[in-house]
Amino acid sequence: MMNENKIPSVDAKKFVFVQKDRHIQDEKLQTKPVGYLGDAWQRFRTNRSAVVAFTLIMILLLFALIVPFVSNYSVSFRDGLYKMVLPKNNTIAPLGFWDGCARQQQSEAGYLYLNAIGHETGDEVIVKVYDSFVDSTGAKFYNVKVDTYNLVGFFYANLSEGEYQALMDYQDETGIQVIYPLSATHTGHYVRGNDGANFWYKLADESQGTAGAPVLDENGDYIANYLSSDDEHRGGYRSLRIEGDGQDGVWYTYAQKNQTGYKVRVEYSKYFYYLNGFVPSFLFGTNVYGQDIFTCLAIGARFSLLLAIAVATINFILGVIYGSIEGYYGGVTDLIMERISDILYDVPFMVVATLFQLHLASKVGPVISLLFAFILTGWVGTAARVRTQFYRFKGHEYVLAARTLGASDRRLIFKHIFPNSLGTIITGAVMTIPGVIFSESMLSYLNIINLDASPTLTSIGTMLAGGRSYLSTYPHIIFFPAIFISILEISFNLFGNGLRDAFNPSLRGADN
Amino acid sequence: MTKYVIKRILLMFLTLFVITVMCFVLIKLLPLPAVREMGRDVNLVLAKREKMGYNRPIMVQFFLYIKNILTEWDWGVGEQMYEGLGIWDVMMQKLPYTVVVNFYSIIVSIPLGLGLGVYAALKKNKWQDALISTLVMVFISVPSYVYAFLVQYIFCFKLGWFPLQLASESQAGSLFTWKMFTSMVPAIMSLSFGVIAGFTRYTRAELSEVLTGDYMLLARTKGLTKAQAISRHAMRNAMVVILPMIFGEFIGIMGGSLIIENIFGIPGIGNLYISSINVRDYNFFMALNIFYTLIGLVSGIVVDISYGFIDPRIRMGSKK
């Protein structure tokens, strides 16, 4: 009833015959024919999760390709002082997050120590004090937000004559104070700071191995304790001076001459800027060696992806050739070849990978031997798929027809049978990629492949292994590689499923 | 069926033999590390090496190796670690840890995996199914060590519910005390996520295919309730595929997971394998290679054969 109401009554005279006297059987089709790949593409396009996954893969791929070129850092960059600093983005940092800061609980002495660094340089270590409390023993504690970049503070640099002069010129030119007066505080016992370079003030007890509580004056200020003399240019210093210097003819000492050059006390973040030309900031923080995680991740991803794609391609080619021969000829050839591939299939991958590492790593390097290990057994899966497809198609009439017309074996294989099974095989090849990436990360995590010998290479597994011991204290070292590899695996699996659905709609949703 | 089983087992031994030969030869081609001077077992190790014929041709060594195993069940002694101890004894001492942890994980995973799979299949194309399928996709893809880190960080470190590492036997008393169990929980959890997701995916796929079968319609037409039809007809048919998978997993628990054992400090077979590689103890390495190969082969066979035992149709097919 409803439907009848919806159809408006049309006058019978308005109907016209479309093709009363025309014969259309010899005319060309008006629409373009949709080919096999075009058809698959149309289906793939409508699969939203697969498209998202593909986009993600492309983004990660671009990340891996571009970052090493634009990044300020490289894998071989290892900063001895900026170890395990937290992620920081200079653009976003003023907003109060992604700023390389961490919430810490500090004792009174620790609080004063950190505060003193900021006090001397103006680069505050303690960004914010949340609250403070007194525990049962009467000791005072602070909950503070600490800038892990400024935490380093000072260190004693040994500069050659040329470096020293250049640094002073730089100071004069820019007006940035890098060199600070040497400290007179005895530093032998203190655990904190880089050789005690941060103790510029008077300490309550210099001889004890304590955290170094300072002596404060009546206003609660630190009492400066610099080396000083009446010689204004002691140590050849001729550049900027800090506030309060030169009173009553007493001059602070900025440098000491030693056998190799000059010992100076420099503020590390400024000195870093002077050396490298950019403000120190690590988007994903640094690891235990002081490497930039962001760059390492890109290199690791590049390595993983390159390896996976190489393995997938080579296995694809080998598998197709092997499987075609098996499937096409059948009989005894098939039987023998099947036995060989069966045995190879049953060798555990760990065994192959380890044996290849033990045998070849010293000769051709760990990467190539890993590639060999993946290839030795990896093609078996593709070969099996190709073989099945050949058995499926080779009995078809169109193959018989082509054979009757005199097509050669090779032509039959590669022109007639193979294209029909292409979709399934490509899907299979793509599906091996996440497996390769996982195996590679596992092997490098377990240190079975050891990439330490090559300074410009790292892998996600190596990065994870390096962060293992710091999981509770510096989780960011593991967090970023773990997230990265998870996204990569999920994307590749979704993409593979999408490909399978596109090439073979009858299997849609079979196991997702 | 019997003929098929015998054939499969013979083929298995052939494969095992070929792989063993390849492994043995490749290991013997590597430079032999010197016996460590430390410890009082140097002479024992040297005597063992003499017995294994270490400076005779490789094929003679292989023959002696197999002969020692078959006649005396002698797998050699540890040379770089567990010096002087029998390989087999050490392996048997490590195996319980691996088996127990993985057994718990499977025991947890089977009901959860099957339950979620059945639920998703029954709610096919509804939001519950979409949710479960998405989660399954994520949990299958994310590598197991990522769960291990997450579990360790959240449950062991932040919440402090479990210890970071497995308790040692001296701390916990034995392998089956409550203390030991709680220290195993993080490892069990990390292992289970992936396995549960795998079971769920498999069950859902099988069951949703079975549910569309004509005999399900017939069962309902006969007057069975939906629950009856599912439990008596659909589940039984789906189980034909799911049960062999479960059997396969059970064999696989002996192998364990290298990386999870490493992260949680489980003194199991996997850790033994990694240490044997790191210190280059080739006697352990060889024995464990055979062990892992055998596990893979046996689980493959168990899966194939159990198909035949569970489903009479397949059994009949194989007689042809």
> What's the pLDDT score for residue A208?
53
> What's the pLDDT score for residue B111?
92
> Chain A within 8 Å of B284 (Cβ-Cβ)?
no
Give the residue with greater pLDDT, A465 vs A511.
A465
Task: Compute the nearest-CA separation of A108 from chain B (Å).
Answer: 25
Q: Is the dihedral of CA B58, B63, B67, B69 positive or negative?
A: positive
Mean pLDDT on B295-315: 82
- Residues from chain A contacting residue B289 (CB–CB below 8 Å): 348, 351
d(CA B14, CA A210): 69
Using DSSP, how many helices (H) and how many strands (E) does chain A show? 15, 9
Averaged pLDDT of chain B: 84
Please list the residues that pair with A107 across neighbouring strands. A141
Name the band, by pLDDT with cuts 50, 70 and 90, for residue A506: low
How do residues A281-297 score in pLDDT, each as one tens digit? Answer: 888 888 888 888 888 88
Chain-chain contact of B278 with A494 (C-beta, under 8 angstroms): no
Q: Give the count of Cβ contacts less than 8 A between chain A and B.
A: 97
- Return the SS3 of A107: strand
> What's the pLDDT score for residue A511?
46
Chain-chain contact of B142 with A489 (C-beta, under 8 angstroms): yes
d(CA B310, CA B246): 13
Comparing alpha-carbon positions, the chain A residue that sits nearest to B262 is A446
pLDDT greater than 80 at residue B175: no
The amino acid that residue A234 corresponds to is R
> What's the pLDDT score for residue B319?
43
How do residues A345-396 score in pLDDT, each as one tens digit? Answer: 888 888 888 888 888 888 888 888 889 999 988 889 889 888 888 888 777 8
Mutate to test the interface with B, among A338, A351, A480 (most CBs of B within 10 A): A351
How distant, in Å, are the alpha carbons of A176, A229, A238, B97 from that of A252?
18, 6, 12, 66
The amino acid that residue A426 corresponds to is I
Chain-chain contact of A493 with B141 (C-beta, under 8 angstroms): yes
Comparing alpha-carbon positions, the chain B residue that sits nearest to A443 is B259
d(CA A364, CA A361): 6
CB A311 within 8 Å of CB A371: yes
ipTM of the complex: 0.87
- Residues from chain A contacting residue B143 (CB–CB below 8 Å): 438, 441-442, 485-486, 489
pLDDT greater than 60 at residue B317: no
> What's the pLDDT score for residue A6?
66
Domains of chain A from N-terminus onward: 55-61+289-507 (1.10.3720.10), 88-152 (no CATH), 154-276 (no CATH)
> Chain B within 8 Å of A233 (Cβ-Cβ)?
no
CB B229 within 8 Å of CB B219: yes
Mutate to test the interface with A, among B277, B286, B294, B295 (most CBs of A within 10 A): B277
How do residues A79-133 score in pLDDT, each as one tens digit? Answer: 778 878 888 887 777 777 788 788 888 887 778 777 778 777 777 778 788 888 8
Mean pLDDT on A443-471: 84
> Chain A within 8 Å of B289 (Cβ-Cβ)?
yes
Q: Please tell me which of the candidates A346, A482, A494 has its beta carbon nearest to residue B137.
A: A494
Nearest to A201 by CA among A317, A100, A120, A297: A120
Nearest to A461 by CA among A453, A470, A452, A473: A452
* % of chain A exceeding 70 in pLDDT: 93
pLDDT greater than 90 at residue A24: no
How do residues A388-428 score in pLDDT, each as one tens digit? Answer: 888 887 778 888 888 889 888 888 877 888 777 788 888 88
> What's the pLDDT score for residue B314?
67
Name the band, by pLDDT with cuts 50, 70 and 90, for residue A211: low
Chain-chain contact of A493 with B29 (C-beta, under 8 angstroms): no
Averaged pLDDT of chain A: 81
- Residues from chain A contacting residue B285 (CB–CB below 8 Å): 354
The amino acid that residue A284 corresponds to is F
> What's the pLDDT score for residue A1?
44
Of these ranges, A352-366, B178-192, B284-298, the one predicted with the greatest mean pLDDT is B284-298
- Return the SS3 of A45: helix
pLDDT greater than 60 at residue A191: no
d(CA A484, CA A299): 12
Give per-residue burial for A135-171: e unless 16+ CB within 10 Å, then b.
Answer: eeeeeebbebbbbbbbbbbbbbbebeeeebeebbebb
Name the band, by pLDDT with cuts 50, 70 and 90, for residue A62: very high
> What's the pLDDT score for residue A59?
92
The alpha carbon of residue A172 and the mean position of all alpha carbons in its chain are separated, in whole angstroms, by: 40
CB B95 within 8 Å of CB B175: no
pLDDT greater than 90 at residue A58: yes
Mean pLDDT on B104-114: 91
How do residues B44-94 score in pLDDT, each as one tens digit? Answer: 777 777 777 777 888 888 888 888 888 888 888 777 788 778 888 888 888
Chain-chain contact of A348 with B293 (C-beta, under 8 angstroms): yes
| B1-15, B29-43, B225-239: least confidently modelled range | B29-43
CB B293 within 8 Å of CB B21: no
Name the band, by pLDDT with cuts 50, 70 and 90, for residue A507: low
pLDDT greater than 90 at residue A55: yes
d(CA B107, CA B132): 20
The alpha carbon of residue A357 and the mean position of all alpha carbons in its chain are separated, in whole angstroms, by: 24
Comparing alpha-carbon positions, the chain B residue that sits nearest to A344 is B19
d(CA A415, CA A407): 10
Angle, helix A36-46 to helix A476-503, in steps of 10 degrees: 130
d(CA A392, CA A386): 10
How do residues B259-280 score in pLDDT, each as one tens digit? Answer: 888 888 888 888 899 889 888 8
Chain-chain contact of A441 with B146 (C-beta, under 8 angstroms): no
pLDDT greater than 90 at residue A331: no
> What's the pLDDT score for residue B315?
63
d(CA A485, CA A229): 59
pLDDT greater than 80 at residue B36: no
Q: Is the dihedral of CA B232, B235, B241, B246 positive or negative?
A: negative
